[in-house]
Amino acid sequence: MDAAGPLTWLLLALEVLTTAAGGVFLTRRGKHDAPGLDRGIRRTAPALLIAGVLPLPALLSTAAPAGAWGL
């Protein structure tokens, strides 16, 4: 495994954790403050977008396994 392999998996793990944390945040926000959910979505969306795009260069530059692309 080359040096970019662990970096790829680390970035993918960060993406999964950020997505899960965003989902938990929005779920809790929606239960207690439904009118404020719009503000929560605007706060969470950029973090989810960045987390989704962050591993892309590492995936493209290495021969990433199919499991990495599946995430």
Along the 71 residues of the chain, how does pLDDT read in single tens digits? 566 677 777 888 888 888 888 888 888 776 777 777 777 788 788 888 888 787 777 777 766 666 666 65
Q: What's the pLDDT at 9? A: 79
Residue 42 resides in a domain:
yes
- The pLDDT value recorded for residue 48 is 82
Position 37 scores a pLDDT of 74
- Owning domain of residue 56: 15-61
* Of 1, 13, 25, the residue nearest 68 (C-alpha): 13
Phi, psi of 30, deg, nearest 5? -70, -30
Indicate the number of domains in the chain. 1
pLDDT for 50: 83
| 10 belongs to a structural domain | no
pLDDT of residue 4: 65
